[in-house]
A and B are shown apart, each in its own frame.
Chain A
């Protein structure tokens, strides 16, 4: 049976990364921006796993790449917890989470 090639996996993960990047630039809602950042991290994880599967070590996938993904997921979870706590604190203080209105550092 035909299988997808490494190039296809890389292309789709690159596409997902690009979509996440577009979201970070276009959106003004800080929660959605944060979600797009997570999407970019996940796209990078897919690349790592694809390369880990492509470069066999002793006939088995290179698990170093998957270890990196494991740590990325852990750090992302911690990051989301802290980031959302900051967003809630920000909302309590300013009553908005739109990046257009959060410009107090400009002055």
Chain B
């Protein structure tokens, strides 16, 4: 391969690889990966490995990368994008690969031999040297080699179905197992899956059947604050919903360990018994749940009651740049809370 073409494709390959690591959007990463694989395939073809090079484009740049892009598009990953890489991981990510390159330097020094030419003359001599056991007289391999063509596919096929026949069968079984594994993994599990989806679906159906809010609202409106105070803590969460909007009276329904903060709404001093799994809210991960608990936020009810001012307050505290509003936590929390109190 002429050196200039080699460098062109090598740089395409390396630039694609750098794009994969450096770009934050997973789709851009996948595109960089495709460019990298095309450069790699060109290098393989430059090494007279035509079959492997074609396979590289077909399987890697084609099938595998399409599968990757398909999954990236399928999962909504927008909110993962704006995460910064931590300095320590960048340091480790630079030093360890550099050490690896240092280790490989002796290898580069020890192999300095150039490739011997595979021109017509060399191929004709190779045909003469080829043992009869590998290619019988008059076979395609021999006829192609005689006219100076490298019968790449034929030679690989010859090897694959004689010497490597058993591994080929094993790989067939492996692909079958992978297929079965994919089907099993993609199957919907019922009952034993710790899945947020069933809850959300239930919450949605409850929200859709408009009779529920209609039932909750009148009961709480007619309720007397004194009566509410005497109700058990289980009912409290329901009755609290209606009392909360009225200014001046919210303290009455609050549990003992809670207080009404001016800036942050209702907050708990300690973990209440009816604390909810806040990570069910789309946009709240386990880490953010811990942070919210640190601020005294434990239940969906609290988040559902957040006023726009409280939302912006938490937005600043968690340095979110508007994510609470974007993911609409209050509406989600209202749904979850309605689902819980039914």
User: A interface vs B, CB < 8 Å?
Assistant: 1-12, 14-23, 25-29, 31-32, 34-36, 38-39, 42-43, 45-46, 49-50, 52-54, 56, 58-61, 63-64, 66-67, 69-71, 73-82, 84-89, 91-98, 100-101, 103-104
Contacts and interface: CB of A to CB of B under 8 A. Distances in A.
Interface residues of B, number: 98
B113 A60 contact: no
A6 B113 contact: yes
Interface stretch (B89-97, B243-251, B253-261, B291-299): B89-97
A92 B197 contact: yes
Given A67-B159, A74-B171, A93-B195, A36 B74 contact: no
18 contacts: A6-B115, A9-B47, A11-B108, A14-B107, A16-B14, A32-B21, A36-B21, A49-B47, A74-B171, A76-B60, A77-B63, A79-B178, A84-B68, A85-B182, A95-B285, A96-B80, A97-B80, A100-B83
Interface of A is mostly: helix
Contact of B97 (A12, A21, A69, A87): A21
B306 interface: no
Contact of A95 (B44, B64, B178, B196): B196
Interface of B: 1-3, 6-7, 10, 13-14, 17-18, 20-21, 26, 29-30, 33, 36-37, 40, 43-44, 46-49, 51-52, 55-56, 59-60, 63-64, 67-68, 71-72, 74-75, 77, 80, 83, 85, 89-90, 92-94, 96-98, 100-101, 104, 107-108, 111-116, 118, 122-123, 125-126, 129-131, 150, 155-156, 159-160, 163-164, 167, 171, 174-175, 177-179, 181-182, 185-186, 193-197, 279, 282, 285-287
A102 to B, nearest CB: 9
